Amino acid sequence: MSGRDYGQKAGSPYAPHTDAETAAMLEAVGADDEGDLFDIPDAVAFDGEFGIPARSEREIRAELRETLADNDDLTEFLGRGHYSHYVPSVVDHLADRAEFLTSYTQYQPEIAQGFLQALFEYQSMLVELTGLGIANCSMYDAATALGEAATLADRVRSTSGDVVLVPEQLREGKRSVLANYCDGADLAVETYPMADGNVDLDALRERAGEDVVMVYAENPTVRGCIEEQLADVGAVADEADALFVLGSDAVALSVLEEPATVGADVVVGEAGALGLPAAYGMGLGLFACREEFLRQVPGRLVGASEDATDRRAYTLTLQTREQHIRKERATSNICTNQAWVALRAAMHAAHLGPSGLVELANDCVREATDLAERIDDLSGYGAPVHDRHHLREFAVRTDQPAAAVADEVEAAGFAVHTIGDHLLQVCVTDLNADAADELVAALEAAA
């Protein structure tokens, strides 16, 4: 009984044909059965089975509920590039409206004004947050946005260089994605050192030269440190005639130094810090750049125009940059992007407003500062490891092996990052700050 979905037909429940309809349609096309319509030679036809049993909605929901219940119920103090903040219910309810969720890319703008306007608004918010002239309407995630920035640097820089410089402290996965994008463009990813959690400016200055096409820095860094000499990093890049690409996220940007004022040419990062709950690493790639790179921007752009009645209307524009027109000379291969996540991020930003956004970011600084202090007070720990200001997260030195501490803390119900033999990393936000006392207690017990 539980296996039945009452009233649903055999075959695909989402193919609405009655037997009579199928018969009438087959007759109209002059076929005896559907198999006649397939022009697949026997030699390559498949007549086996996948062995996938069809289940009812109810069964699948129960199955997946049970399966996911096998995830341990941990309070996460995790960040390092994947951030979540409380997303108000209104975002789910509005974004899940079928008119948004089940729509396609806006190739017929006359009947897609709603989504186009929402994406235009999203782009505008990023223009405000970055201070740069252009933002596209999404990349897949921060890592692929960084890869796209490197290929952009390669296209727009007149120097013959082939080196992309990245900080020593960088998420390994991000570096790996970047390397995959760089390889095809014959670019080499090289590392510059850091000094106490910030860019080692002297070392960077020494390394930067004619062969460098791009300098990448993050604010905050992957360890949550706020960079203190960003304008100098920008100046070093500029002197080397290299693009200055800055990594950040939509929340941090609302309070940290404006990228445009420190000389950033491109801003990439995670815009899914807004609008998206913890989603196992699914993201929203932020990509903004200076206006002069307009024709070299990867991804879709929404622009304003007028319709035949002279009203303002929106449309995908400058599509000659894109793969469906420009093919192998396109600025990127991206087609399907993260538009719906961008919609969610814009809704969340609109709901917070500038005051809410700034308060949230400020709290991320305060909570990190407080928690680091409390952990530092415990014996067996030192925090923050770097003598810097932090946003959301910070590194912790452990006397015990860090992995053993993390295991013990996990057994007590908390997840933290292990980033070195004697290094942990802890991320605190509006979502887990109320469990900070318990985390501190668990760390104390594990020391």
Partner 1 sequence: MIYDQASYTREEEAQHEPLLSEKDETTVDVREESPLPEELTRDEVTLPELSEPEIARHYTRLSQMNWAIDAGAYPLGSCTMKYNPKFTEDVAANPDGAVHPDRSSRSVQGTLEVLYGLQEYLAEIGGMDAVTLQPPAGAAGEFTGIRVAKAYHEANGEGNRSEVIVPASAHGTNFATAALAGYDVVELPSDEDGRVDLDALEAAVSEDTAALMLTNPNTVGLFERDITEIAEIVHGAGGLLYYDGANLNALLGRGRPGDMGFDVMHYNVHKTFATPHGGGGPGAGPVGVVDELAEFLPTPRVRETESGSGYERFEPERTIGKVQGFEGNWLVLIKAYAYIARLGDEGLADAAAKAVLNANYLGERLDLEIPYGPYHHEFAATSGDRDAADVAKRMLDYGVHPPTTKWPEMVHNAMLTEPTEIENKSSLDDLATAFNRAFADDDETLENAPNRTTAARIDQTSAARNPRLSWQALDGE
Ligand X SMILES: Cc1ncc(COP(=O)(O)O)c(C=O)c1O
* Pair of tokens at residue 106: 């806006």
Q: Are 149 and 268 in contact (CB under 8 A)?
A: yes
Q: Is 101 in the site for ligand X (CB under 6 A)?
A: no
CA angle 318, 322, 327 (to 5 degrees): 135
Applying the rule CB under 6 A, the residues between 331 and 390 that interact with ligand X are 335-336
Nearer to ligand X, 257 or 322 (CB): 322
Q: Are 126 and 138 in contact (CB under 8 A)?
A: no
Residue 174 interacts with which of ligand X, partner 1, none, CB < 5 to 8 Å by class: partner 1
Nearer to ligand X, 316 or 385 (CB): 316
Euclidean distance between CA atoms 424 and 405, whole angstroms = 9
Least Cβ distance, residue 311 to partner 1 (angstroms): 6
Identify the CA nearest to 299 among candidates 135, 109, 133, 132.
135
Least Cβ distance, residue 197 to partner 1 (angstroms): 13
Least Cβ distance, residue 336 to ligand X (angstroms): 3
Nearer to ligand X, 108 or 336 (CB): 336
Residue 168 interacts with which of ligand X, partner 1, none, CB < 5 to 8 Å by class: none
3-state secondary structure of 47: coil
Least Cβ distance, residue 396 to partner 1 (angstroms): 15
Cα 293 off chain centre by: 22
Nearer to partner 1, 159 or 323 (CB): 323
Residues that contact ligand X, how many (by CB under 6 A):
2
Least Cβ distance, residue 297 to partner 1 (angstroms): 9
Q: Are 298 and 151 in contact (CB under 8 A)?
A: yes
Residue 75 interacts with which of ligand X, partner 1, none, CB < 5 to 8 Å by class: none
Least Cβ distance, residue 151 to ligand X (angstroms): 17
Q: DSSP secondary structure string, 5-43?
A: -TTPPSS-TT----HHHHHHHHHHHT-SSGGGG----GG
Binding mask 299-338 for ligand X (x = CB under 6 A): ------------------------------------xx--
Identify the CA nearest to 349 among candidates 90, 122, 77.
122
Instruction: Summarize as ranges the residues that interact with ligand X (CB under 6 A).
Output: 335-336
